[in-house]
A and B are shown apart, each in its own frame.
Chain A
Amino acid sequence: MSDIIIQNVSKIFGPRPERAFEMLKQGIPKNEVQEKTGLVVGVYDISFEIKSGEVFVIMGLSGSGKSTLQRLINRLHEPTRGSILIGDKDITKMDRKELIQFRRKAFSGMVFQNFAILPHRTVMGNVEFGLELHGIDKVKRRKRAQEVIDIVGLKGYENSYPSELSGGMQQRVGLARGLAVDADILLMDEAFSALDPLIRREMQDELIELQSRMKKTIVFVTHDLDEAFKLGDRIAILKDGKMVQMGTAEEIITRPADDYVTAFVEGLDRTGVFTAGTIMQPVKATAHVNDGLHTVLHKIRRAGLSSILLVDSQRVLHGYLKADEVAEEVKKKSVDEKKKPHPSLIHSPEAVHPDTQLTEVINLSTESTGPIAVVDNNKKLLGVIVRGAIIAALSKGYKPEVNGYNENDQARKEEKVS
């Protein structure tokens, strides 16, 4: 497992690229450079890191240099300047032989928009392709290919030719061909863009599911912001060969770097981006498991709530009490006010993890009337979701409150600085 470190990388297509660098340094835009020198600027002076095991999305419109940038990572394009480190190896300094060996070791090949699978080979033959190039013997590679074919759901199609398959299935072949090679880095170039929307969504979901098991480093190029935000742990937005912004989906939505990004973000389906953690609010009041009925009622009234969450000293969630039921109980003279609430009064609330997507939270909020608590893996109470906040998040220009919980906040802040 190794990070990809891209340092000051530029790619200029054409002879004598120095001319372009001179102009770019003065801030002359890409199209003007091309007009004056005939040189095409792929990407200019880009630096960033891709962490091992993350899905990193490179996003931009056509001509933004996103595919060029991706092809620099495995050196399908020669970088004009800069260095690209994968682990501790500088891929720009390798000779042809080293490069071929390194590609075999580090990359799970590439997945392409128009699939780029071999028309003269069967599904099995295509999935075996990478392994075959690496010189793995027939029995072994057939076994491995069969495993991957099963994983991507192509079982039964082993002997079909690409021309007999639908687009979605062809892309499964493309994906399987990559996954068959057991290397860390998988490059995907507009991999789902040629598929129709339903199939595309299905493939995205499957990729997310696969990734949760495989933990590969995926560099995914797309022009589709919804896709970028759905798949990407982090996203880099490119424009005219330059990096405009890099960060998580939330960072980009809530703090767009400039008008270009803002314009991009406007048409976005927000339900897939925000999580329970983003929109939750701090808990105004909680009842302790040892609190007597009277105390509970007092706390409820003071905070003006219709129900109150019940926690222990570790703030582990135990349930919730309804205000009217507690009041009813207290009215009964027979009950000791100092006594703890009877177990029949304690209801179990809807509890979600901070990473739960907004779509799911919406479903919960329509299904139940009780509070929606946000808890971590140890059932520790982190916050609550107020129904109004869901509506607010769906509207444009929404910025989450600063005190909203986010487990990665610290890490992300550090990245921003660097």
Chain B
Amino acid sequence: MFPFRIPIRDWISAVVDYLSTQFSVVFDSISTLVLFVVDNFKDGLLALHPLMLIVVLGFITYRMAGLTTAGVAVAGLLIVENIGLWVAFNETLALVLTAEVFVIAVGLPLGILAAGSDRLNGFIRPALDFMQTMPAFVYLIPAIMFFGLGLVPGVIATFVFAIPPLIRLTNLGIRQVPKELIEASDAFGATRAQKLFKVQMPVALPTVMAGVNQSIMLGLSMVVIAAMIGAGGLGAEVLRGIQRLEVGQGFEAGLAVVILAVILDRITAGFGQIKKPQQ
């Protein structure tokens, strides 16, 4: 129909090429930082005896979600250990935690800023829509371009995929703080920082925590996909199952992912309720 073709792919490639050569220092330092955090999480988790980690996770689940859920979590973790996916399980957990650290470090301040400025919010919102509607796979490509294969691009892709809900819900939570509470703190002579830390954040906490929960769950799903570019962990086990058509192996890995998902979800869903009165 057209005598020409809009060279979107050439443009994007050119930009990516340019960035990766010109800003290699930036990418290298990001890479080092990510690796550092992932390794620390992984080493930390694996340094503990499996039973000890199971007890610790079980206890945290108990505190956050009650006895029944804790029982399910402990049983699940014992199964994971039993079917020999303990190391892969912890690798995945380390990846998710690393991605979440960066998501919170970037997403929380961005959400707070967006709540304070309608203009910034106007910029951020379409960007978030774009990030969320884009197929998850597509993030893998630029991540590989900038960071090569392995853990780091996996974490980066996960970060990009998982950050929107935290920004959105932080923004929403702070905007939903009742106007009178803001007026009250102003009337008492609160500074901006006091308002934020003593009123807005605590009141918005349940919503923000829903954002953390959402981003962790999205992160987990992405970490599994990121195995395709060599992120390792449970995703790699699933992938192996698919490639070799070993249904049983794939199912086991999938089961481990589900167990991890349940534990993470229950724990983070409980965060929002910490500050509620204990009846």
Stretch of B148-156, B157-165, B175-183, B233-241 at the chain-chain interface: B175-183
Task: Answer whether A116 and B180 are a contact pair too, CB < 8 Å, given A103-B187, A163-B277.
Answer: yes
Alpha-carbon distance between A160 and B191 when the two chains are bound, in angstroms: 27
Please name the residue on chain B nearest to A187 by beta carbon. B187
Alpha-carbon distance between A109 and B275 when the two chains are bound, in angstroms: 25
Does B199 sit within 8 A of A, measured CB to CB? Answer: yes
Please name the residue on chain B nearest to A111 by beta carbon. B184
Alpha-carbon distance between A114 and B183 when the two chains are bound, in angstroms: 12
On whether the beta carbons of B183 and A133 are closer than 8 Å, the reply is no
On whether the beta carbons of A129 and B186 are closer than 8 Å, the reply is no
Does B255 sit within 8 A of A, measured CB to CB? Answer: no
- Max chain A Cβ within 10 angstroms of own Cβ: one of B184, B186, B191, B279: B184
In-complex Cβ contact of B187 among A76, A117, A120, A164 (8 A): A76
- Max chain A Cβ within 10 angstroms of own Cβ: one of B178, B186, B202: B186
On whether the beta carbons of B180 and A112 are closer than 8 Å, the reply is yes
Please name the residue on chain B nearest to A75 by beta carbon. B186
Alpha-carbon distance between A186 and B181 when the two chains are bound, in angstroms: 17
Number of interface residues of A (CB under 8 A): 33
On whether the beta carbons of A103 and B189 are closer than 8 Å, the reply is yes
Alpha-carbon distance between A12 and B276 when the two chains are bound, in angstroms: 40
- Chain B residues within 8 Å of A101, by CB: 189
Task: Answer whether A133 and B190 are a contact pair too, CB < 8 Å, given A109-B184, A114-B180.
Answer: yes
Please name the residue on chain B nearest to A74 by beta carbon. B187
* Contact-residue bracket for chain B: 20 to 34
On whether the beta carbons of B187 and A118 are closer than 8 Å, the reply is no
In-complex Cβ contact of B181 among A74, A118, A130, A163 (8 A): A118
Alpha-carbon distance between A132 and B202 when the two chains are bound, in angstroms: 15
| Shortest Cβ-Cβ A-B pairs, 9 listed | A104-B189, A116-B180, A161-B277, A103-B189, A110-B187, A109-B188, A130-B188, A116-B184, A120-B275
Does B231 sit within 8 A of A, measured CB to CB? Answer: no
Does A140 sit within 8 A of B, measured CB to CB? Answer: no
On whether the beta carbons of B203 and A118 are closer than 8 Å, the reply is yes
Alpha-carbon distance between A76 and B205 when the two chains are bound, in angstroms: 25
Does B194 sit within 8 A of A, measured CB to CB? Answer: yes
Alpha-carbon distance between A129 and B189 when the two chains are bound, in angstroms: 11
Chain A 78-108 per-residue mask, 1 if CB under 8 angstroms from chain B, else 0 = 0000000000000000000000111110010
Does B198 sit within 8 A of A, measured CB to CB? Answer: yes
Alpha-carbon distance between A163 and B186 when the two chains are bound, in angstroms: 23
- Chain A residues within 8 Å of B183, by CB: 71, 76, 110, 112, 116
- Max chain A Cβ within 10 angstroms of own Cβ: one of B184, B188, B191, B276: B188
Alpha-carbon distance between A139 and B268 when the two chains are bound, in angstroms: 34
Does A119 sit within 8 A of B, measured CB to CB? Answer: yes
Please name the residue on chain B nearest to A126 by beta carbon. B184
Does A181 sit within 8 A of B, measured CB to CB? Answer: yes
- Max chain A Cβ within 10 angstroms of own Cβ: one of B189, B199, B202, B203: B189
Does A19 sit within 8 A of B, measured CB to CB? Answer: no
On whether the beta carbons of B202 and A118 are closer than 8 Å, the reply is yes
Does B69 sit within 8 A of A, measured CB to CB? Answer: no
Does A134 sit within 8 A of B, measured CB to CB? Answer: yes
